[in-house]
């Protein structure tokens, strides 16, 4: 689906609603990072005139997940031949050890 830059930034920069009383962190965006409170994609600030193509689960892209607002009227298309858990298991089985790089978020989220 496509998301306007302003909504994409809100998903990353604002704290989502808690889940069962526990705080949750920001969404993961491949190629994105937060530096000094600004969202960067590919090392560049998000372009307010651009739409960004995003992928996620229904929980992340529907209002009940706490990351998006119903007023955004997102037009999500779901492709469900494989559930997320199965896709991750298949990928990890073939990818070998997974390396995690920390430091994607630097400074406070504002």
- Ranges of each domain in the chain: 2-106
Backbone angles phi, psi at 85, to 5 degrees: -60, -45
pLDDT in tens, 95-106: 877 776 776 666
Angstrom distance (rounded) from CA 3 to CA 11: 10
pLDDT in tens, 3-18: 888 888 887 777 777 7
Q: How far is CA 92 from the centre of its chain?
A: 20
The tokens for 50 are 């651009």
Place of tokens 């992928």: 55
Can you give the pLDDT at residue 66? 78
Lookup: tokens for 110: 């504002």
């Amino acid at each position: 689906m496509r998301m306007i830059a302003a909504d994409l930034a809100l998903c990353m920069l604002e704290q989502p609603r808690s889940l069962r009383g526990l705080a949750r962190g920001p969404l993961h965006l491949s190629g994105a990072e937060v530096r000094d409170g600004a969202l960067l994609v590919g090392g560049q600030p998000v372009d307010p005139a651009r739409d960004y193509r995003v992928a996620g689960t229904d929980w992340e892209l529907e209002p009940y997940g706490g990351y998006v607002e119903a007023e955004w009227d997102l037009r999500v298309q779901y492709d469900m031949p494989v559930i997320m858990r199965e896709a991750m298991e298949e990928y990890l089985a073939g990818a070998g050890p997974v390396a995690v790089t920390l430091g994607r978020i630097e400074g406070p989220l504002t």
